[in-house]
Amino acid sequence: MTDLFDMTGKTVLITGGSRGLGRAMAQGFAEKGADIAIVSRKADACEAAAAEIAKLGVRTFAYGCHIGRWDEIEPMFEAVWNNFGKVDVLINNAGMSPLYPSLGEVSERMFDSVVGVNFKGPFRLGAIAGERMMKAGGGSMINISSTASINPSPGTAPYSGAKAALNALTQCFAAAFHPKVRVNTIIVGPFATDVAEHWPDPPDPARPGLTKSGRRVGLPREIVTTALYLAADASAYVNGAAIKVDGGGWGMGRAAEEAAVA
């Protein structure tokens, strides 16, 4: 049977790709043969991740870009496109959700930063990438959202709103770029990334996939197969979809959920 998840010859651009879920997806796509562009704020972290992934025998490219800054996005995309000659898959993974003591203490700067990284940046990058992919013959775009977008709480207000907007953006882009470019969303729950170390109930290093109290959380590698599915020919007729990857959403206390979204 043909491997529907084979990514050989494809180029994948991942924002927030130097750590956490982005790093796991970069590894997973490279293992399936894809060339990888890793983008995040810290160029040195991108370069380190790209060098490690290149050991798998694929081409890699590192670029430092703040996704929340509109004027940095097009030069970044042009650099990636010029390096590989194309972009087949865009994964809008970069995100942020700083904690705050109360709603009244959310500053304008914090609010704008959260909206910028989680919504404004993906809008601008998706618009540029989608139009270029259309002209080149097709592609796939995956927006990484959060269960906070559909189950908001006082501790995640700006983040929940921005990710809900990202969910809506998926529908807009799916319609705009149909049928050549497919645009889908992965709605993620709590995962045991480096951010999880700051949870009230953090992951237990001795028991992967569990917090210290025994609650189930996702391992970064458990996002990979869903992302591969949405990027590859396996999902050729899937467009405008939102797939939850959250273990069912059971067992996490509210405080842990709020801390998990960053």
pLDDT band at 2 (very low <50, low <70, confident <90, very high): low
pLDDT band at 250 (very low <50, low <70, confident <90, very high): low
Q: Which amino acid is at 154?
A: P
Residue 3 domain flag: no
pLDDT higher than threshold 50 for residue 93: yes
Mean pLDDT of 207-233: 89
Residue 22 domain flag: yes
pLDDT at 192: 80
| Predicted TM-score of the model (pTM) | 0.92
pLDDT higher than threshold 60 for residue 145: yes
Q: Is 196 within 8 Å of 188 (Cβ atoms)? A: no
Residue 129 domain flag: yes
CB atoms within 10 A of CB 246: 22
Q: Which domain holds residue 68?
A: 11-260
Catalytic residues: 146, 159, 163
Residue 157 domain flag: yes
Q: Tell me how long the chain is.
A: 262
- CATH number (domain holding residue 50): 3.40.50.720
pLDDT at 156: 93
Cα distance between residue 23 and residue 16, in whole Å: 8
pLDDT at 210: 82
Find tokens 């989680």 and name the residue. 118
pLDDT higher than threshold 50 for residue 255: no
Residue 2 domain flag: no
Q: State what percent of residues in the chain have pLDDT above 70.
A: 93
pLDDT at 251: 47
DSSP structure class, residue 213: T
Residue 177: its H or E element: helix 157-177
pLDDT at 163: 98
**pLDDT tens digits for range 114-125:** 999 999 999 999
Residue 1 domain flag: no
pLDDT at 209: 82
Six-digit token string for 40: 């995040």
Residue 6 domain flag: no
DSSP structure class, residue 118: I
Tally of domains in the chain: 1
Class of residue 175 by CB neighbours under 10 A (exposed 0-12, middle 13-18, buried 19+): exposed
**pLDDT tens digits for range 158-213:** 999 999 999 999 999 999 999 999 999 999 998 888 776 767 777 778 888 887 88
Task: Kindly give the pairing relationship between strand 89-92 and strand 11-15.
Answer: parallel
Q: Is 175 within 8 Å of 217 (Cβ atoms)? A: no
**What is the rounded average pLDDT for all residues in the chain?**
92
